[in-house]
Amino acid sequence: MKKKIVSVLLVATMLSTMVSGCGKTAGSGGTVNAEGIKEFTAFFAVPGSEINDDNEVQKLIAEKTGCKVKETWLTGQTAEEAVGTLIAGGEYPDFIDGGNGSVQLYEAGALVPLDDYIDKYPNIKEFFTEQEWDQLRQSDGHIYWIPQFSNIYGEERACTHNDEAFWIQTRVLEWAGYPEIHTMDQYFDLIEDYYEANPTMEDGTENIPYTILCDDWRYFCLENAPEFLDGYPNDGSVIVDPDTLTVIDYNTTDTAVKYFKKLNEEYKKGIVDPESFTQTYDEYIAKLSTGRVLGMIDQWWDFAYTAEDAIKSAGLDDQGCQYVPLPITIEEGMTNQWHNSGGVLNVSSGLAITTSCQDVEGALQFVNDLLGQEVHDLRFWGVEGTDYLVGDDGMYYRTQEMRDQASDTAYKASHTCSYSYFPQWTGTSRDGKNAMKSDGQETEFYDGLSDSIKKCFDAYGVKTYVEMLGTSPAPGSWYPMYTFSSSMTTSTPGGTAWTLMGEIKHQYLPKVVMADDFDAGWDEYMKAYNECHPEDFISEMQTELERRVAEAAKYE
Amino acid sequence: MKKKSFTMVDVRHQRVLLIWAAAIVVYGVIFYYLPLAGWLMAFQDFKPVTGIFHSKFIGLDKFIRLFSDATFLRVIRNTLAMGVINLAVTFFMAILFAILLNEVASKGGKKVVQTISYLPHFLSWIIVTGILHDALSGTGIINQVLVNLNVIDQPINFFAHEQYFWPIVAFANVWKETGWNAIIYLAAITAIDPSLYEAASIDGAGRWQKIKNVTLPGIKPTIMILLLMNVGNVLNAGFEIQYLLGNGLVVNVSQTIDIYVLKWGISQGDYALGTAAGIFKSVVSIVLIVVCNHIAKKHGEERLF
Amino acid sequence: MEQTKTGFMNIALAPKAKEGKAEKTAVKKRKKISTGDLIFRICNGLFMLIFVIVTLYPVLNTLAVSLNDGTDALRGGIYLWPRMFTWKNYTTVLQKDNLITGATVTVARTIIGTVLALVTNAILAFIVSRKDFIFSKQLSLFWVITMYVNGGLIPTFLLYKSLGLTNSFAVYVIPGMISAFNMLVIRTYMKGIPDSLEESAQLDGAGYTTIFLKIISPLCKPVYATVALFVAVGQWNSWFDAMLYNRMSGDLTTLQYELMKLLSSVTNQSSSAEAMKNSNGSVTPTSVRAAATIVTMLPIICIYPFLQKYFVTGLTLGGVKE
């Protein structure tokens, strides 16, 4: 009896193997389905949001372009691992963005060179300047991938400062009568004064004057302020002196010493949250969400869509618990570069077409179509009448209801299809009025502001977060250097030094801030730091800087 | 590979067993031993592009790199320490729990307790560590209780001190897995002949003596087998929990081999390093179980092979 | 191996003679409770109570978070009861595209995988637990080693691909079907079964197949149930193989893989610049993870009592019966 059951099951297993085993290759290469739509596959080696098979906007785009793409994303693996398995298997989806594994794909010969095709597709051609296209050439002189992001069409449209800053709650500024705060010392003085006068919130909860997020890779909230305090832009891993074109290590500058010494003093005074270095990201967000934290350094995206939302939903915006950025430098009278204008061309990865794709021209035609204004609007605004309305002046706007549904996870999966890892524009639409993406639309932005933020902006005579900081012109042609440091591996001395430096900083910086004797703590840190051979890293960065500058000089 | 003196009578008599064994060995070779060709990677400058068969051989470079790195040696120490502590504590707790549960008189109560006890097994580490972080924070329940009982005057920041890290990891493992691990022992207890308990009662044995003389000997083979298997696993002290509970201040005691491999191998595209560390772990495991198995054999205990 | 009688077998075989007496006294057994016994029971009950509270708390906390508004939950302070009640997290989870396909595949792999694993491990355990089997020791060693060696991701992937296991259902149930751990658990149990049973059957002319099916297996129900539970839970929760080997085969997705992708979507969304500010009834990675955890736990909790009766039987039902 048992044997029979087993054999039945075995047969069933084998059958199901055979049934599902056939007809499935990785790259379907533009197979035309029953409705006459070409179907492509795509894999992006980053975590992402999968959309439903019967997604509505995807259907509309398919009707207009004759193509649809089934996207899959990285889950539970590193990009290198995922790409490594694909290369080992030798089968690829039609489109791919290898993320950190992009070079591996190129070296494996898995990608189709795109340079011969680009001229045939006007929207793709238009996407980059000649110089930018040349920056994308690999060692064999061909272009294999198209970076998708941060590419500005027409006038730049930035309302929020999406990046790093010293943030402070509006209630602190209001209490002090909206003073001009320009230096780190002024910032901490203000927080100290406020905290002394107001140790608790309205409901009696104790305020936390200043907290530092230090969880895993998010420890940038602790470590990279010295580069901004010195008035340099976010090159990420180093400072570039624009006059001498040399790379400076921001970890060892006088400003770095001053900054950490200040944190150390504030820690001893009880201003810096004692749980700073042990809290997880979730705990940090929970703290911010209760409105207790007066100020911190962070990137906007890291807390805006979680903590800021929670503050609003709890009605704490009326108490002035929302955050605004301050233009802080180490000394009075320096220009700050917390916010820079201009896009960022990250040449290290992008959308590529693989050798498994049977219909390269069809695939590129689809990319071209996605950049057309009509389809672009479908991707980033949605369907007119359902997702947005058009005013008499031609401006797109949304009702509160539309805004709510636009952020609903289930609605996004079933309705919205932005093909988010395909090339896309930011900035101003080809109609010259609207923003390319809904988050750049000023009207949308103003509607979302709470009264306390508006009041604060009025007091400083500004209209947006960006104006709180002021905008600096785009840095030089080398910018940003982090695109190089993030692609370093331990196969070079510089890459090894870079990884080690990260470890040491992660381990020692909290100790430095908590040290009883700052100078001794700092010396100990510097000793460990110098053992990592940071000079190897700096010299490789210098070489890359010179290469980039020389490359750019060809076009001047 | 395995020849011993046996007679043709044995072979004929055991042909059913031999056929099945052969089929199973073929399966094992394919699914467990063939992939070991991947170990070659540890001796190569492996690139996915060139694959296992065409990458350049670099000999023992990766092993030398590993063992000349002070960090790796510290990481081995951490892994071993946490592995041994976790093994001892979770093992003891699971057996204790199974035996005590077996002593619960009410059958309904026994079932309810058992059902609840295994539930945390299904929570992911990220949930469990999240709750643990809450409980151990400055305003968390543990600190509140300790302060109210006047054990301490100031809340302790448990995650900032190296000495608390290993106990916290051990506690988390016990918390999450005791009920689940006890299932095997509960099954083993069912195999004990009930008449043994009756006989012991007649001989005037108390509850404690019955546990000592009947229950424990009854599940001893299971205990031995699991102990031996787990001894081989002490270097697999985990990855996720240390990763989620660790921070810069305790990095000296929190990093395990697996975290090291992720940091220096996988996320750098250095497959060889990860494989070398894997081989090291395998060798240590096999040596450990062979030694322990031999000890078990000497003492006439149940053994793995 | 012949000399090493396990401790269990020594006592298992010894007290047969006393059985008659034991039966008589069994009736009156529970009546007398000594003071020591009473203290023990109270302490034990207390221990169990604490244990239940400590282990139930994280589950109840997860349940509370799963029923609470995601954004509100970010503020922390949710313990046993949701503060801002909503079904939103569950609707988000249950609206996931392909969830039905995933659930079907998961149920199929759980059933087929468990049966296959149970049958093969039991056969293997039976073979190596035969004391007279000529390769008993070698075969055990062969499997024990597999527990501690691992060829790595890429070689395994290449192997499965060349065996035609990628993009197939078989990859869920064939690799990992036999595991040394499960085999050893069953073997230990089988070794505890008195040899006398097998010997008398052999005298009656029964072959190994008959002994396995008719004599050993019926006695192994508790351990079979245990191993079935382990395998089933493993099958039910696995998603990595679906991601790795069947990424491009949408109809072979699994429940957990779909939930992992959903979680990844929500995580990605909550840190993306595209997300518009909105606080009404939104979900967060934490709240969705909580709901997904409860959703995957439920079926196992429902099935558990049926398996549990085999290994939590208490003294009256258990034991080797002849």
Q: What is the mean pLDDT of residues C254-259?
A: 92
For chain B, the average pLDDT equals 89
State how far the Cα of B166 lies from the Cα of B246, in Å rounded to an integer. 11
Residues ≥6 apart with Cβ < 8 Å to A47: A73, A74, A75, C264, C267, C268
Domain stops at, among A413, A440, A467: A440
Which pLDDT tens digit goes with each residue over C280-315?
457 888 899 999 999 999 998 888 888 888 877 644
Q: Is B126 exposed, middle or buried (0-12, 13-18, 19+ CB in 10 A)?
A: middle
DSSP β-bridge partners for residue A329: A183
Whether the pLDDT of residue A27 is over 70: the answer is: no
Choosing from A440, A473, A502, the residue where a domain stops is: A440
Interface of C with A in 143-202 (CB under 8 A): 153-154, 157-158, 161, 164, 166-170, 173-174
Residues C168 and A16: their CA atoms lie apart, in Å, by 8
- Identify whether C133 is part of a domain: yes
Q: Do A499 and B264 touch (CB under 8 A)?
A: yes
A33 has a pLDDT exceeding 90? no
User: For position C41, what pLDDT does the model report?
Assistant: 87
User: Domain count of chain C?
Assistant: 1
| pLDDT-derived band at C13, boundaries 50, 70, 90 | very low
pLDDT of amino acid C33: 66
- Interchain CB distance below 8 Å, B268 and A491: yes
A455 shares a domain with A431 = no
From the list A179, A171, A379, the residue with the least C-alpha distance to A291 is A171
**β-strand partners of A95:** A42, A353
Three state DSSP letters for A530-556: HCCCHHHHHHHHHHHHHHHHHHHHCCC
Q: Which of C115, C168, C240 sits opposite A21 (nearest CB)?
A: C168
What CATH number does residue A526 fall under? 3.40.190.10
Mean pLDDT of chain C: 82
One-letter amino acid of A140: D
pLDDT in tens, B142-155: 998 999 998 888 88
Please indicate, yes or no, if residue A2 is contained in any of the structural domains: no
Whether A192 and A315 share a structural domain: yes
Asked if residue A22 has pLDDT above 80, the reply is no
Q: Where are the alpha helices (DSSP H) in B104-254?
A: 107-117, 125-136, 141-148, 162-190, 194-202, 207-210, 216-231, 240-245, 251-254
Contact yes or no for A13/C173 (Cβ under 8 A): yes
pLDDT for residue B207 is more than 90? no
pLDDT tens-digit readout, B274-296 = 899 999 999 999 999 999 999 99
Query: C223 vs B185, B218, C229, CA distance in Å?
Result: 10, 14, 10
**DSSP H or E stretch at residue B235:** none
Residue A409's pLDDT band (cuts 50, 70, 90): confident
Residues A276 and A410 in one domain: no
Chains A, C: CB pairs < 8 Å: 190
Residue C192 covered by a domain: yes
Residues A190, A72 share a domain:
no
Q: Most B CBs within 10 Å: which of C31, C43, C146, C154, as the mutation test of the B interface? A: C154
pLDDT-wise least confident of A478-482, B30-34, C315-319 = C315-319
Smallest CA-to-CA distance from A355 within A125, A120, A114 is with: A114
Biggest CA–CA distance in chain A, Å, is 89
Any domain includes A547: yes
Q: Which of A305, A356, A417 to mutate to test the interface with C (most CBs of C within 10 A)?
A: A305
- More confident of the two residues B159 and A346: B159
Question: Cα–Cα–Cα angle for C61, C63, C64, nearest 5°?
Answer: 65
Residue entry with tokens 């955050």: A323
- Interface chains of chain B (3 or more CB pairs under 8 Å): A, C
Q: What is the pTM of this model?
A: 0.86
DSSP A187-250: HHHHHHHHHHH-SB-TTSPBPEEE----SGGGGHHHHSHHHHHTT----SS-EEETTTTEEE-T
Judge contact between A340 and A473, C-beta under 8 A: yes
pLDDT score at C264: 82
Domain count, chain A: 2
Question: In this predicted structure, what is the pLDDT of residue A10?
Answer: 45
| Span C211-232, average pLDDT | 92
Are A24 and C249 a contacting pair at CB < 8 A? yes
CA angle C134, C136, C139 (to 5 degrees): 120
Q: Is residue A20 part of a domain?
A: no
Indicate if the pLDDT at residue A308 is higher than 80.
Answer: yes
Q: How far apart are CA A267 and CA B270, in angstroms?
A: 40
Closest listed residue to residue B126, CA positions, set C296, A283, A290 = A283
Least confident piece of the model among A204-213, A372-381, B104-113, C254-263? B104-113
Per the CB < 8 A criterion, the answer to whether A221 and A214 are in contact is yes
| A259/A395 same-domain check | no
At residue C5, the pLDDT reads 35
pLDDT of res. A28: 55
Check whether residue A252 and residue A365 sit in a common domain. Answer: no
Domain co-membership, A322 together with A225: yes
Contact between C68 and C86 under an 8 Å Cβ cutoff? The reply is: yes
What are B298's two structure tokens?
């000497």
Tokens of B106: 């009410």
Query: In terms of C-beta distances under 8 Å and separation of at least 24 residues, what long-range contacts does C234-238 make, across chains too?
Result: C235/C106, C235/C109, C235/C110, C235/C113, C235/C114, C235/C172, C235/C173, C236/C106, C236/C110, C236/C296, C236/C299, C236/C300, C237/B122, C237/C296, C238/C172
Q: Residue B184, SS3?
A: helix
Residue of C nearest to A83 (CA): C154
The predicted pLDDT at position A29 comes to: 58
The distance from CA A277 to its chain's CA centroid, rounded to whole angstroms, is: 23
pLDDT over threshold 90, residue C37:
no
Those of residues 221-280 in A touching chain C at CB distance below 8 A are: none
What percentage of chain A exceeds 90 in pLDDT?
60
pLDDT the model gives residue B205:
84
Q: Which of A337-346, B49-58, B190-199, C247-256 is the least confident region?
A: B49-58
Domain span at residue A44 reads 31-155+345-440
End-to-end CA distance of chain A: 84
Measure the CA–CA gap between A238 and A257, rounded to whole angstroms. 16
Domain harbouring C113, CATH code: 1.10.3720.10
Per-residue model confidence (pLDDT) at position C275:
42
- The chain-wide mean pLDDT, for chain A, equals 88
Q: What is the pLDDT of residue B5?
A: 58
CA pair distance A233, A225, nearest whole angstrom: 11
Within a domain: residue C117?
yes
Choose among A310, A321, A422, A329: nearest CA to A371: A422
Which among C148, C163, C308 has the least Cβ separation from residue B286? C148
Cβ within 8 Å of A, B 82-141: 129-130, 133-134, 137-138
Rg (CA), chain A: 26
| Bond from prior residue into B167 cis (ω within 30 degrees of 0) | no
Q: Which residues of chain C does A310 touch, with a Cβ-Cβ cutoff of 8 Å?
A: 71-72, 74-75, 279
Question: What pLDDT is stored for residue C280 in this prediction?
Answer: 44
Does C231 have pLDDT greater than 90?
A: yes
Q: Which residues contact A224 (CB under 8 A, 6 or more apart)?
A: A164, A234, A236, A250
Measure in Å the smallest separation between the Cα of A228 and chain B Cα atoms.
23
Strands A95-97 and A208-210: unpaired
pLDDT of res. C229: 92
- How does pLDDT run across A53-81, given as a tens digit for each residue? 889 999 999 999 999 999 998 887 888 88
Q: Is residue A214 a part of any domain in this protein?
A: yes
Higher pLDDT, C163 or A487: C163
N- to C-terminal Cα distance for chain C?
25
| A380 and A331 within one domain | no
Q: How confident is the model at residue C279 (pLDDT cuts 50, 70, 90)?
A: very low
- C31 is a domain residue: no
Asked whether residue A124 falls in the same domain as residue A189, the answer is no
Q: What percent of chain A has pLDDT over 70?
A: 95
Judge if A373 and A428 occupy the same domain: yes
**Segment holding C25, helix H or strand E:** helix C19-26
- Is C131 part of a structural domain of the chain? yes
pLDDT of residue C313: 61
Q: What is the pLDDT of residues A199-224, one digit of tens each?
A: 999 888 899 999 999 988 889 999 99
Class of B60-298 in CATH: mainly alpha
| A9 within a domain of the structure (yes/no) | no
Give the other-Cβ count within 10 Å of C256's Cβ. Answer: 20
pLDDT of residue B137: 86
Confidence of residue B193 (pLDDT cuts 50, 70, 90): confident
Token look-up 């099954």 returns B187
More confident residue, C255 or C249: C255
* Confidence at residue C163, expressed as pLDDT on a 0 to 100 scale: 93
Q: What angle do CA A485, A491, A496 make, to 5 degrees?
A: 60
Question: Are B49 and A84 inside 8 Å of each other by CB?
Answer: no
**Rounded CA separation A18/A20 (Å):** 6
Decide if pLDDT at C257 tops 80: yes
Residue C220 belongs to domain spanning: 97-275
* A291 pLDDT higher than 50: yes
- Say whether both A225 and A187 belong to one domain: yes
Q: Can you tell me the mean pLDDT for A76-104?
A: 87
CA B272 to chain A, closest CA, distance in angstroms equals: 12
The answer to whether B217 contacts C7, with C-beta atoms less than 8 Å apart, is yes
Q: What's residue A329's pLDDT?
A: 95
Contact A495 B268 (CB under 8 A): yes
CB A292 within 8 A of CB A205: yes
The answer for A 467-526 residues in CB contact with C (under 8 A) is none
Least confident of C148-162, C235-249, C302-316: C302-316
Chain B contact present for C159, CB below 8 A: yes
* Structure confidence at residue A13 (pLDDT): 43
Task: Tell me the chain B residues in contact with residue A495 when contact means C-beta distances shorter than 8 Å.
Answer: 268
**Cβ B128 vs Cβ C58: under 8 Å:** yes
Query: Looking at per-residue confidence, does C24 or B271 come out higher?
Result: B271
CA–CA separation, C61 and C55 (whole Å) = 11
pLDDT tens readout for residues C177-188:
999 999 999 999
**Closest residue of chain A to B127, computed from CA coordinates:** A282
Are B259 and B240 within 8 A, CB to CB? no
- Dmax of chain B from CA atoms? 78
The residues, any chain, with a CB within 8 Å of residue C182's CB and separated by 6 or more, are C117, C121, C227, C230, C231
Mark whether A219 and A367 lie in a shared domain.
Answer: no
| Closest Cβ–Cβ partner in A26, A93, A282 for C286 | A282
C164's tokens: 């035609």
Q: Which of B100, B196, B229 lies nearest to residue C11, judging by beta carbons?
A: B196
Report the alpha-carbon distance of residue A98 to residue A84 in Å, rounded: 10
Contacts of A465 in chain C (CB under 8 A): none
DSSP B89-107: HHHHHHHHHHHHHHH-S-H
Interchain contact, B305 vs C137, CB within 8 Å: yes
Give domain status of residue C269, yes or no.
yes
